[in-house]
Amino acid sequence: MANLNRASRELFARQADERFASLDDLADHCRNQSAASQEIWIPPRVLRTNSVDTDRLLLASDEQAFQMNDWSFSQLCRLAGVGKDTVNRLSPDTASRVFAETLTGGEKPLQLFIQGTDGADALGRLRSIHAASYTRLANVELLDVIEEFSGDFQPPPPGVNGGTGLYAGEQDCFLFLIDPAGWVEIEGESFAPGFFAWNSEVGRRSVGIQTFWYQRICANHLVWDARDVVELARKHTSGVRDALPEIRAAIEGLVRRRDERRDGFARAIRAAMGTKLGDEQDDVLAQLAKHGFSRALVREAMALVPPFSGFTVFAMVDALTRVAGKLENAGDRTEADQKAASLLALAA
């Protein structure tokens, strides 16, 4: 089993305005963000940087100017082959001359992703710059799949700083969803299903999903003792939309497995309620001795079994669990619980 820290990293990286209380709220935000954004294609030879006043560097074409955010500025630096930290130490006018020397020309257009305007200046906000090979997948496309197929899944309890597990910012989105009613028994231990999903419209990260079964989530959104961890991810190339049916299949598979396990556990309980360990106390003592239970513990448990129920597997597992809860040592309690749960296999 593994401990998963991806949601915990997101919890402490997100500002308050990047947190959303519900899946609907997150989807509405992503839908509005997508509606306000557009792609434009501009050949590199007409792009240049210029400074406005003394404190702002813009990327401009012959017809438009764009205000950059941290991510698009980083992309511009990579495109020009200059160090971002170095350029940040320069004045806007000097930085503009640096880009004039280092930005390459050419006719193959670049993809500029623009959102809205900037107040009275009517400047588009440049969210990202990409070569023609980049294929965008909108966050809302991922959210539509998750909303349709996630069913009973919901965010975990809020983290220590109020983080919700549902996040979206300028660069990406991230979701952490669990099924709090989906607990099942797996090899004698309790697990519930959950998954992480993520995407970036601006190339900050891949699109993907990680499904798992967990035992506990702490206030730091660390996922403890996860098993059956499965991850798939795709880069934003021409086949990126193939990720959507794969993500849908991953969620549907998680739900199907939950239902199978829950139904299987219900069948096991019904069988345990109808299977006797023996008609006489000596028979029960002998049977449970084979499974490592002391005669004193079994006698105490048998005293808790109602006469009308008989010494069924279910009745004895329930009674042994209650007796185990009274043991002083935590290790002894855990061992007794595990041995009691293993008795359900006798009714299979």
Per-residue pLDDT of the chain (348 residues; tens, 9 = 90+): 789 999 999 999 999 999 999 999 999 999 999 999 999 998 888 888 887 655 778 898 888 888 999 999 999 999 989 999 999 888 888 888 898 888 877 778 999 999 876 444 456 899 999 998 999 999 999 999 999 998 889 999 999 999 999 999 999 999 999 998 888 877 767 889 999 999 999 999 999 999 999 999 999 999 999 999 999 999 999 999 999 999 999 999 999 988 888 776 666 667 777 788 877 788 788 878 888 888 888 888 888 887 666 788 778 877 887 887 777 776 677 677 677 767 767 766
- Our count of domains for the chain comes to 3
Q: Structural domain of residue 54, as residue ranges? A: 37-130
Query: What pLDDT sits at residue 208?
Result: 96
Query: What pLDDT sits at residue 236?
Result: 96
Claim to verify: residue 188 and residue 237 sit in the same structural domain: yes
Distance of alpha carbon 247 from alpha carbon 211, whole angstroms? 10
Secondary structure of 98-130 as H, E, C letters:
HHHHHCCCCCCCEEEEEECCCHHHCCEEEEEEE
Distance of CA 127 to the CA centre of its chain: 24
Backbone angles phi, psi at 312, to 5 degrees: -80, 165
Distance of alpha carbon 242 from alpha carbon 245, whole angstroms? 6
Claim to verify: residue 88 and residue 219 sit in the same structural domain: no
Residue type, 189: E
Query: What pLDDT sits at residue 106?
Result: 73
Domain endpoint, select from 264, 288, 313: 264
Distance of alpha carbon 143 from alpha carbon 199, whole angstroms? 10
Domain membership of residue 43 (yes or no) is: yes
Contact residues for 88 (Cβ-Cβ < 8 A; gap 6+): none
Claim to verify: residue 155 and residue 243 sit in the same structural domain: yes
Domain endpoint, select from 264, 299, 329: 264
Query: What pLDDT sits at residue 120?
Result: 43
Claim to verify: residue 242 and residue 308 sit in the same structural domain: no
Claim to verify: residue 9 and residue 73 sit in the same structural domain: no
Domain endpoint, select from 233, 264, 295: 264
Claim to verify: residue 222 and residue 122 sit in the same structural domain: no
Distance of alpha carbon 48 from alpha carbon 61, whole angstroms? 6
The DSSP element (H or E) to which 333 belongs, if any, is: helix 330-342
Claim to verify: residue 28 and residue 145 sit in the same structural domain: yes
Contact residues for 78 (Cβ-Cβ < 8 A; gap 6+): none
Claim to verify: residue 243 and residue 309 sit in the same structural domain: no
Claim to verify: residue 167 and residue 205 sit in the same structural domain: yes
Distance of alpha carbon 134 from alpha carbon 137, whole angstroms? 10
Distance of alpha carbon 17 from alpha carbon 296, whole angstroms? 60
